[in-house]
Amino acid sequence: MTLCQLFLQPDAAYACISELGELGIVQFRDLNPNVNSFQRKFVNEVRRCEEMERKLRFLETEIKKDELPIYDPEDNPDAPKPREMIDLEATFEKLDHELKEINTNADALLRNFNELTELKHNLQMTQGFFDEAQAHPVGVLEDMAGEREIELGGQTTATAGMKLGFITGVIPRERMVTFERMLWRVCRGNVFVKQADIPDLIEDPLTGEKVHKTVFVVFFQGEQLKNRVQKICEGFRANIYPCPENPHERRELAMGVMTRLDDLTVVLSQTQDHRQRVLAATSRNLRTWQIKVKKIKAIYHTMNMFNNDVARKCFIAECWAPVSELDRIQLALRKGSEASGGGTVSSVLNRMITREQPPTHHKLNKFTQGFQNLVDAYGVATYREINPMPFVLITFPFLFAVMFGDAGHGLIVSVFALWMVIKERSLKDKWRTQEVWTIFFGGRYIILLMGLFSIYTGLIYNDVFSKSLNIFGSSWRVKFGDEILNRRDIDTVQLEPTPYNYSGTREYQQMYSGTPYPFGLDPIWQVSENKITFTNSVKMKFAIIIGIIQMGFGVFLSLWNHLHFNHRYAIYLEFLPQIIFLACIFFYLIILIFYKWTHFDGLVSTQAPSLLIQLINMILLSYPTEPESSRTFYSGQRGVQTALIIFAVICIPWMLLGKPIYRIIMNKRRANYSTVTNHTENAEHEIDEQTHENESTKKRGVVLDVDLRDTDTDDILDDDHLHQQHHQTEVEMSEVWVEQGIHTIEYFLGCISHTASYLRLWALSLAHAQLSEVLWQMVLHIGLSTNGYAGSILTFLVFMPWSCLTVFILLLMEGLSAFLHALRLHWVEFQSKFYKGEGYPFIPFSFRLLLDEVPIEG
């Protein structure tokens, strides 16, 4: 990774950036962080892009409203040239305008149409009312008249009733009730309201939603009431329609409305057709346009970050780029300059030297990406630090599998992952918004490896859905005589590896074949009473062995870090005490474990000393002879262990004091120099670094045409450097002490607690095995242990709950817990030994990344 300066011709800048965006391997730095977003140079262009995006969004919503398909382009269109932008703008403007015009026309037509439909219904309904009234002259109007009699005193019946004024109209159905109540209140009960629901849905021209509406007729008497009713109608936004009193006129009006409606339908369908045509043409190009506009916008955003040098008439950009990619960047720049034509002076790439920490860039493929995400979730690697990903790649699925060891479950997991891997292409864009799915899909290769390793460890544990497989034939034969098996007073018999003495006779029976089961656990253990006791012992020891080896490996990785960063003092003052401490106590423990496994066979295993007590005694330096379990493994153990403990204890002050003292000495030595020599020394140091850098680049076979001695950059560097110098002396010594103290305590206590922490490998594995066994015993066993046809039916019924529980509890829940524990073991126990994770990721300016982003709904 190197910091580069790009000098770009103003004309060529756009094309160059476009080329670089296609490449996607440089990360631009913002050179105007203090300038407001709206005060930058290309803010107008960005704004134009936003305007275009707005229009495109409008077009898209319109297309979606008509449910037309939007075609995805096959190829990746290049970022258009700046002058093409104007064309694009014009096209969009035209489309936008056209569509808006169509819409306003359609809206007007639709509104007209709706009004007419409402009028039509209105007429139909009112016709109904009046017919009814005429059919029963003493019905409705009679009631009205009766009421009126009370109010007005003596004006009578049907003929007077016909003089009643009325207003008809249409109102949304949900407002009808309040409307009616209001009318009643305002007119003090002097109106008569009749209503009927319109069966069809009528479109609201404003929102485009279909709503239920109701036709009403309000009968009243007098001008004043009419005014009030009209006002209320207005207030409730009811549409009032004229309705002639004469039935003949009504019929004529209805006819007129019908013909006008027919005309309108024709016109409406024509407008719709036109709209469809325009939209269909748009939908074909929409995605391409969107991509183009996005690219333009991104380019201008990037150019906004450049330094605009007025005097030299060029843009100055700073960017981080991988050293190995510099050739391609140069090529892209040249292409960009040529593409822009007029640029006589090609763009210049200039490597800069900086003290700033570069971003961390890992070359990844889709397989390693998932694992790198696991590591990055803890912290992005400090620049040039060892990346634990390649190791995590194997250890993570392995530790997971140790906890998840069941070949049957592993098989299901791997088949699921395999499906995701094989169908990768078609699944990629499916369910992109589903968070849970994207998590699973993103980790498909992790899951695949986890599944495969689970099959492996499951076979070693000889667990397939909690049952054992007897592939090679057990090494044990049960050859007890009937008299022993039939005895009532014992319910268990013990198999001994030694020849068994038949009671009474002189015959000996060999029950153990002498050769162990070739792979994994002997299936005979499946039927034994003490299976758990046995597997616990094995798994616990393995957990410790795996854990200590992984921690030791972590400490060794820190050695590589120290070597790379040239921290020689850290090797002596940190790495050595750490590894010695680990070796003296924990590697020794592993040796004891292996010693115990190899030196105590079936005959004497009961007399074997306990490892735990041995370890405690070793630390306490006490060597009692009673009880039996605390006897020593070998002669001279006392001397060896005492020596180891002394070594280990020496490591603590070594690490605690070493680094701070080294710092103090260095500070003093530095203080003795004058500032001038200091300066030169630093410069030498710098040159060292440069040559170092050059070597490393040469190694990669990249020859660079780089001017290392740019005056500008040197000045900047010196300033930087002095500043740093100043800063360094200011650091309080007490801070160093405290930091080192914490670091030391963390490491030494950590060694002990982390070792204990690895026991989770055993604990979870035990839990998983037991859970799956319980599930088998409590659920599936019911079906399998019933005889006859009932058994087959019962098995059928019971299989469903068993399989569901297996998937949800054993695979998902247990799998998740094992995953988290494996993650913790890597983050805390493994990476804490060497991994700082204080870097920041390299985010290149890339069109591909930009377009891959899921568009935000809104």
Tokens 């690490």: give the residue: 655
The answer to the question of residue 727 lying near another protein (CB under 8 A) is no
Question: Which among 463, 100, 450 is positioned nearest to 275, based on CA atoms?
Answer: 100
What is the smallest separation between the CB atom of 36 and another protein, expressed in angstroms?
Answer: 6
Smallest distance, Å, CB 271 to another protein?
A: 22
Amino acid at 128: G
Report the DSSP beta bridge partners of residue 203: 210
Rounded-to-integer distance, Cα 833 and Cα 751, Å: 10
Selection from 817, 652, 609 nearest residue 751 by Cα: 652
Phi, then psi, of 345 in degrees rounded to 5: -90, 120
Looking at the Cβ atoms of 46 and 447, the one nearer to another protein is 46
- Left, alpha or beta for 30 (phi > 0: left; psi -120 to 50: alpha)? beta
Site string for another protein, 339-378 (x = CB under 8 A): ----------------------------------------
Which residue lies nearer to another protein by CB, 53 or 693? 53
Interaction of residue 137 with another protein, rule CB under 8 A: no
Closest separation in Å from C-beta 54 to another protein? 6
Looking at beta carbons only, is 190 or 372 nearer to another protein? Answer: 190
d(CA 594, CA 212): 84
For residue 628, state whether it binds another protein (rule: CB under 8 A). Answer: no
Question: What are the CA-CA distances from residue 501 to residues 195, 476, 721 (Å)?
Answer: 105, 16, 85
Q: Considering Cα of 615, then 617, then 620, then 621, what sign does the dihedral take?
A: negative
Q: Binding segment for another protein among 14-22, 33-41, 395-403, 661-669 (CB under 8 A)?
A: 33-41
Task: Read off φ and ψ for residue 779, nearest 5 degrees.
Answer: -110, -70
- Output the 3-class SS for 150-161: HHHCCCCHHHHH
**Nearest-angstrom CA–CA distance, 56 and 76:** 18
Q: Among the candidate windows 45-53, 261-269, 598-606, 720-728, which touches another protein by CB under 8 A?
A: 45-53
- Using CB under 8 A as the binding rule, the residues of this chain from 224 to 243 that contact another protein are 228, 231-232, 234-237
Q: Is 516 in the site for another protein (CB under 8 A)?
A: no
Contact indicator for 399, 822 with CB cutoff of 8 Å: yes
Element (H, E) at 766: helix 760-775
Question: CA angle, corner 406, sides to 405 and 410, nearest 5?
Answer: 100
35 contacts another protein (rule: CB under 8 A): no
CB of 69 to another protein, least distance (A): 23
Residue among 502, 88, 151 at smallest CA distance from 297: 88
Instruction: Please give the sequence-ordered ranges of beta strands (E in DSSP) within 221-262, or none if there are none.
Output: 239-241
CB of 236 to another protein, least distance (A): 6
323 binds another protein (CB under 8 A): no
Closer CB to another protein, 132 or 234, in the complex: 234
Listed ranges 53-61, 83-91, 472-480, 598-606: which one lies at the site for another protein (CB under 8 A): 53-61
The span of 30-38, 291-299, 367-375, 724-732 binding another protein (CB under 8 A) equals 30-38
- The least CB distance from residue 240 to another protein, in Å, is 13
Q: Is 147 in the site for another protein (CB under 8 A)?
A: no
For residue 427, how far is the Cα from the chain centroid? 16
Tell me the per-residue interface mask from 56 to 75 with another protein, x by CB under 8 A, - otherwise. Answer: -xx-----------------
Site string for another protein, 754-793 (x = CB under 8 A): ----------------------------------------
Least spacing, CB of residue 188 vs another protein, in Å: 9
Q: Does residue 89 belong to the site contacting another protein (CB under 8 A)?
A: no
Is 47 a binding residue for another protein by CB under 8 A? The answer is: yes
**Which sign, positive or negative, has the C-alpha torsion 138, 143, 144, 149?**
positive
Element (H, E) at 220: strand 213-220
Smaller CB separation from another protein, 133 or 303 = 303
Q: Does 384 bind another protein (CB under 8 A)?
A: no
Least distance between another protein and beta carbon 304 (Å): 12
With contact defined as beta carbons under 8 Å apart, do 462 and 534 qualify?
A: no
In whole angstroms, what is the distance from residue 778 CA to residue 785 CA?
11
How many chain residues are in contact with another protein, going by CB under 8 A?
26
From residue 839 to residue 858, the character string flagging contacts with another protein as x (rule: CB under 8 A) and all else as - is -------------------x
Stretch that binds another protein, among 34-42, 118-126, 350-358, 556-564 (CB under 8 A): 34-42
Buried b (16+ CB within 10 A) or exposed e, 492-520: eeeeeeeebeeeeeeeeeebbeeeebeeb
Which parts of 163-202 interact with another protein (CB under 8 A)? 175, 178, 181-182, 185-186
At closest approach, how far in Å is the CB of 47 from another protein?
A: 6
51: contact with another protein by CB under 8 A = yes
Q: Which residues bind another protein (CB under 8 A)?
A: 36-39, 43, 47, 50-51, 53-54, 57-58, 175, 178, 181-182, 185-186, 228, 231-232, 234-237, 858
